[in-house]
Amino acid sequence: MFALVALLIGLSKGGLGGPVPVSLTAPLLSLVIPVSQAVGTVVPLLIFADLFALYFYWQRWDLHYIRLMLPAAVVGVVLGTTLLATLPNEILRDVIGIITILAVAYRLASSRLRSIRYEPRAWHGIFAGWASGFGSSLANVGAPPFTAYMLLQPNMQPIPFIGTATLFFAVLNALKVPGFIATGTLDIQLLLEIAFVIPIIPFGVWLGRYIVIRMSPALFERIMVAALFIMGIWLVIT
């Protein structure tokens, strides 16, 4: 299971399926370990993968959006970490399942965002930052609010969008570490036991970039979204 999670992280950072493969990681691991451990264990793997993404998109970001969203994201991280460390595992499974289903609903509706007549407001970015920090720390699903907000921005181009997302979530993942260690959410012993899966991540990055050229990204994304939906339903009903 841990090897599959590492592969999904690598595929996502390699450009295959966007944030969808990462959204699968916590639900998958929560089937075999407590939810809080599942979320915490993924974070160091994400940070390792972030290094590759930062290399590919170095300085391709828009710092205006980073400055706007990051302070509120920190507040979201603190709140999400607190809930993750205090809520019972059964409730967390339901929360993860519901958030996963909401992420699927967002993904299905995201293609319509660009057609919406939208007037930018600073508080929209602040709220998106908070929601991303909260979702990321609670279930590693911070991408939907961030993506929804960024897609609504006028004249947003693909490379600055990806670069901004890369930097934002790299910083966010790093910010989660102190709180996760302090609350025991990040189990260092477990991390050492699964360290053997780390080399799978760069392989996944390479494989993701390889498949993007040869396979329809839309097909892969549909498969991942279907898997997300099934996983979310399973967590809620079990």
The distance of Cα 202 from the centroid of its chain, to the nearest Å, equals 17
Distance spanning both ends of the chain, measured CA to CA: 19
pLDDT tens over the chain, length 238 residues: 788 888 888 887 776 656 666 777 777 787 788 878 888 888 888 898 888 888 878 888 889 999 999 999 999 999 989 988 887 877 776 776 777 677 677 667 665 655 666 666 778 889 889 988 988 888 777 777 887 788 777 777 777 877 888 899 899 999 999 988 888 888 888 888 888 888 998 888 888 777 766 766 666 666 666 766 776 676 666 6
**CA–CA distance, 184 with 57 (Å, rounded to integer):** 33
Q: What is the pTM of this model?
A: 0.78
Provide the domain count of the chain.
1
Question: Which domain covers residue 63, as residue numbers?
Answer: 2-237
Give the per-residue pLDDT at 52.
83
Tokens found for residue 53 = 């993404």
**CA–CA distance, 230 with 214 (Å, rounded to integer):** 27
Q: Give 121-139 as a DSSP string.
A: -HHHHHHHHHHHHHHHHHH
Give the per-residue pLDDT at 7.
87
Residue 121 burial (CB count, 10 A): 9
